[in-house]
A = this chain, B = another copy of it.
Amino acid sequence: MIVVMRRGAPEAQRLAVEERVRGAGLLPHPIVGTERSVVAVVGDERVVEPEYFEVLAGVEKVLRVLAPYKLASREGRPEKSAVEVAGVPVGAEAVVLMAGPCTVEDRSQLIETAHAVKEAGARLLRGGAFKPRTNPYSFQGLAEEGLALLAEAREATGLAVVTEVLSEHDVDLVAKYADMLQIGTRNMQNFLLLRAVGAQKKPVLLKRGMSASLDEWLLAAEYILSCGNERVVLCERGIRTFEDHVRNTLPLVSVPALRERTHLPVVVDPSHGTGHASLVPAASLAAVAVGADGLLVEVAPDPASAVTDGAQTLSLRQFAELAASLRPVAAAVARSI
Contacts and interface: CB of A to CB of B under 8 A. Distances in A.
Interface string A269-280: 000011000110
B311 A191 contact: no
Contact of A250 (B7, B36, B252, B291): B252
Q: Which of A239, A256, A308, A328 has the most CB of B within 10 A?
A: A256
Given A311-B51, A328-B331, A213 B242 contact: yes
B253 A274 contact: yes
Contact of A240 (B132, B242, B260, B329): B242
Interface in A197-247: 210-211, 213-214, 216, 219, 222-223, 226, 239-246
A56 B52 CA distance: 32
Interface string A28-56: 01010111101010111011010110111
A134 B249 CA distance: 23
Contacts of A252: 250, 252, 283, 286
Contact of A46 (B49, B75, B133, B137): B137
A124 interface: no
Contacts of A287: 286
B34 A44 contact: yes
A279 to B, nearest CB: 5
A138 interface: yes
Contact of A310 (B55, B239, B311): B55
A52 to B, nearest CB: 7
Contacts of A109: none
B285 A213 contact: no
Interface in A247-268: 249-257, 260
A332 B308 CA distance: 33
Nearest to A211: B211
A24 interface: no
A256 B29 CA distance: 32
Contact of A52 (B33, B55, B251, B310): B310
Interface in A1-25: 2, 4, 7
Nearest to A222: B136
B35 A304 contact: no
Contacts of A135: 49, 68, 219, 222
A305 B254 CA distance: 27
Nearest to A168: B167
Interface stretch (A93-101, A113-121, A153-161, A182-190): A182-190
Given A166-B191, A243-B254, A253-B283, 15 more contacts: A2-B2, A29-B31, A35-B44, A133-B191, A167-B168, A169-B169, A211-B211, A213-B245, A239-B241, A240-B240, A241-B249, A250-B251, A256-B282, A286-B289, A328-B331
25 contacts: A2-B2, A2-B38, A2-B65, A4-B65, A51-B309, A54-B310, A55-B304, A55-B313, A134-B216, A134-B219, A136-B194, A167-B167, A167-B192, A190-B190, A213-B242, A239-B243, A240-B240, A240-B242, A245-B257, A249-B251, A251-B251, A253-B273, A256-B279, A282-B291, A286-B287
Closest 4 CB pairs of A and B: A328-B332, A289-B289, A211-B211, A55-B310
